[in-house]
Amino acid sequence: MPNTIFVLNGPNLNLLGLREPEIYGADTLDDIAGMLEDRARALNLDIDMRQSNHEGHLIDWLHEAQATGAKAVLLNAGAYTHTSFALYDAIRAIRTPVIEVHLSNPAAREEYRRHSFVGMAAKGVISGFGAQSYLLALEAAARI
């Protein structure tokens, strides 16, 4: 799967489009998947888009990305970004590059959102551009 980009989405991202649209925008996760698939085709890449509200699934999928030879992982870990040592360890344990993605800008929000365990282990972070954050991250992943 050397041309595959895993796009992993954490808790509550299944509610995009409904949940706090003033912060996260009106695009649903399916809308974002469609945008990513269109852009990925142009870059000769495949997208494997997944969402779970369970931390262990995200960790298993990071391991799977490594095991299958994925080119990169785009990870929006949601609230786990700020709390999960386990995701930090999982990212550090794999060679597959991980790019942290956020729709909003955590640095401009509540104090507790300003610390990212995911970002400490990730190759890079793209945030604050709504659904475009995913497309920018995809462009970066294509060039890794």
User: Which residues are catalytically annotated?
Assistant: 24, 102
Show the tokens assigned to 38: 């269109």
Phi, then psi, of 37 in degrees rounded to 5: -65, -40
Q: Exposure string (b/e) for 39-48, b if CB count within 10 Å is 16 or more? A: bbeeeebbbb
Show the tokens assigned to 121: 């282990």
Residue (of 3, 110, 10) closest to 55 by Cα position: 10
